[in-house]
Copies of this chain bind each other. A is one copy, B any other.
Amino acid sequence: MTTNTIVDANTEADAAALLADFHTMSEFGATSGGGVDRQAASAADGQTRSWFSGWLADRGFRVEVDTIGNIFGLLELVPGAPYVLFGSHLDSQPLAGRYDGAYGVLAAGHAAHRAHRDLAASGITPRYNIAVVDWFNEEGSRFKPSMMGSAVFTGRLDLEVALATTDPRGTSVREALDAIGGRGGFVGPDVAGYAEIHVEQGRTLEDAGVPIGVVASTWCAYKYEIVVLGEQSHTGSTLMRDRRDALLGASKLVVAINELVREFDDEVLHASVGEFTVGPNSPVTIAREVRLLADLRARESSILASAFEILQQRMRAIESETGVRIEVLASSVWESGPFLETGLAITETAAEQLGLDSMRVLTLAGHDATNLKETVPVILIFVPSVDGVSHNEKEFTHDTDLVAGARVLTEVVKRLALGDFAG
């Protein structure tokens, strides 16, 4: 069976409902700069989760929450059958944009709701049940690691380890989730396939003037947790030659990490430090230690391996220049990998059927889809980001692109529910 025989009731009303809901949702944790601040398990995250749970329940989804706070909206159309799953994350970085993650969750809700309606109107019983998900703590800004909910779901991360993780104030994930009533006992669902739609967070689609990105593969991401150890002393009275300044050593390391990109062709390596915490961080005191997180990404892991080799040489040089000690405490590795060709074709066909241009793109950012990809067939779809702005209140995607993306995702829901992506 092809989806050509299914009613396609996508209307102006569907588009208006999506945009109105997106507007309502963007009020939770809204910032004065036009963005949102909804770090994982914050009050604003809790408000968004409650609102979305109500939205699902109002449309006939059975709402369940699992032990790490992932929210599922279940449409059981075929009793006992596995589910095809659609979603993203409602949490945000501090002072972030409205679209990152939240658009994908809302679009999944709308797409599942419309697909269900269209399938019912066509009198077709699908092969799989349909579910929507809000993955807990994708951003990892409050509780590390990022993509926590999907990592626990797929077994990459242990539940108890995740629940015991604390934020900088010492609050655990367990406590923070309980404070927003965000922890349940649901186990499941049994997943046959997963699709996620997300804003691109880059410029490829906008530069090409194409509304739908079909993500063909991910970049590798290597992250290193590093500590720079010096000796606490006085900014005034300690002789310059006696100082072992952790902040100076760490600053040289930030510069060295940035300069790694010069060792390769333009834009082949992305290398930055996002988190950088100084101890004791006091005005008249030379820093005792700095903890930082180096984030290196490239298409191929061989590039990252050789970048890290150069970085290690620089670390030894900085140690002898400044008298600090530099230790790599931990590393996390996401290897690159292609998405399944069947999945790419499903999205491309859906877009074509709707008269929308699509193109194959890469993802440089990690997504919950990256975790799911290790266990089930996965599709990742992008819509354009104006100027590629991301993790910033000024993040923006045009309404027409939001609407187009939800339409494509609706078609993808139908195809996956019918078994087009079955293994």
Given the known A-B contacts A283-B140, A284-B140, are A247 and B273 also in contact in the complex, defined by CB atoms under 8 Å? Answer: yes
A235 and B270: CB pair below 8 A? yes
Per the bound structure, the CA–CA distance linking A245 and B365 in Å amounts to 17
B245 and A258: CB pair below 8 A? yes
Q: Pick out which of these stretches binds chain B: A108-116, A173-181, A184-192, A285-293.
A: A285-293
Q: Which residues on B sit within 8 Å (CB–CB) of A94?
A: 280, 282, 285
Per the bound structure, the CA–CA distance linking A266 and B393 in Å amounts to 47
Interface size class of A (residues with CB under 8 A): 35 or more
A247 and B239: CB pair below 8 A? no
Residues 129-153 of A, flagged 1 when their CB comes within 8 A of B and 0 if not, give 0000000000111001010000000
**Most chain B beta-carbon neighbours within 10 Å: one of A250, A272, A393:** A272
Which of B242, B251, B366, B392 sits near A254, CB closer than 8 Å? B251
Q: Which residues on B sit within 8 Å (CB–CB) of A231?
A: 392
Q: Which residues on B sit within 8 Å (CB–CB) of A235?
A: 270, 272-274, 295, 297
Q: Does A238 touch B at the CB level, under 8 Å?
A: yes
Q: Does A364 touch B at the CB level, under 8 Å?
A: yes
B237 and A146: CB pair below 8 A? no
Q: Does A275 touch B at the CB level, under 8 Å?
A: yes
A267 and B280: CB pair below 8 A? no
Q: Does A50 touch B at the CB level, under 8 Å?
A: no
Q: Which residues on B sit within 8 Å (CB–CB) of A277?
A: 278, 281
Q: Does A117 touch B at the CB level, under 8 Å?
A: no
Binding site for B on A (CB under 8 A): 93-95, 139-141, 144, 146, 200-203, 219, 221, 223, 231-243, 245, 247-248, 250-252, 254-255, 258, 261, 266-267, 269-278, 280-288, 293, 295, 297, 363-366, 387-393
Q: A94-B282, A141-B283, A240-B267 given. 4 additional CB < 8 A pairs?
A: A235-B272, A240-B270, A245-B258, A274-B287
Counting from the closest, the 6 A-B pairs by CB-CB distance are A251-B254, A251-B251, A141-B282, A201-B237, A234-B390, A94-B280
